[in-house]
Structure formats: C-alpha cells, structure tokens
Amino acid sequence: MPHTFRATAEADHAALLQLNNDHALELSELTADEFRELLKVAWRVRVTDDLAAMVIAFDQDTVRSSQNFDWFKARHRRFAYIDRVVVAPSRRGQGLARALYDDVIAAARAEGQPLLCAEVNLDPPNPASDALHTSMGFAPVGSAELVGKGKSVTYYSRPL
C-alpha cells in the first residue's frame, strides 16, 4: 500500500513538536516557537495523517541559518536539503522514511533542483540513517563537529 502524506495544519504542531523532541538526540530539541518558525520557513513539510512521521526540507532560498544548512549553501547554488525526517518507533520498518524522501525528491525534481542534501549524526552514530542514505544513492561529501552541540555529522548528497 502506498504511503500518503499531507501538509501540516496548526492543530498538528504540538504532536509534531513532541515527535521531534522525542528524537532530540538525532534531530535537536526545539521550543514551540522554534518549531513554528522552522515550519514557516521550510520549503516542504509533509506528515502522515496519524502524525507518526514527518519530513522538513529547505531549498537554497530558505531564510534560515544553521551550521549544517549553511555548509551546503556555501557549496551549492541550487539544492534541496532534508533538515529532518523522523518516524515514531511504532511505525518504523514500514518504508515511511524512504517514502518521505521520495516525496521530497519528486518535489525537488519538479522544480529542477539538481541535488538533494542531508546530514546524519556521526557521533553519536546513527547506523540506520547511514544505511538509508547509502541505499538511496547518497554519498558522503564532508563532515563537521557541531559547535556547542557535542556531536558531529556526516554530510551527504545525491544528484537528482
């Protein structure tokens, strides 16, 4: 059965913030205001109807500064960037993360984007995310220590 996704509604925000913050180690914890701002500036946001999975993506025109996004902006004129993707433990293993990526890929291709970018925690490691990115044709293109976060990441990209 194919997965279907939709845009967010304001009534979704509290549940999605909780989903995000339940996975703060992988994503980074946000306040309600920070989360609302993230949704406001994002190029694409998609969620499942039950709010158990979401993706938030930017493009090169997104007005936001973060160490990871800025790394790609400094290197590419046009691109789409997965800021965060998360699937609740109860829904894992159903292909939701891959389907969310496919949704972003289709939207990026429709806009003529040449590249999809993302990062994955290197320390602490996230082997499931590394495996997903590798299986979807991403290649490592760099890494960084995140200032003030106590973690490091691997940067990935793939042509579209």
Compute, in degrees rounded to 10, the torsion defined by CA atoms 40, 44, 142, 98.
140
Lookup result for tokens 């602490």: 124
Domains defined along the chain, listed by start: 5-159 (3.40.630.30)
Tell me the pLDDT tens digit for each residue of 129-150.
999 999 999 999 999 998 887 8
Tell me the pLDDT tens digit for each residue of 82-123.
999 999 999 999 999 999 999 999 999 999 999 999 999 999
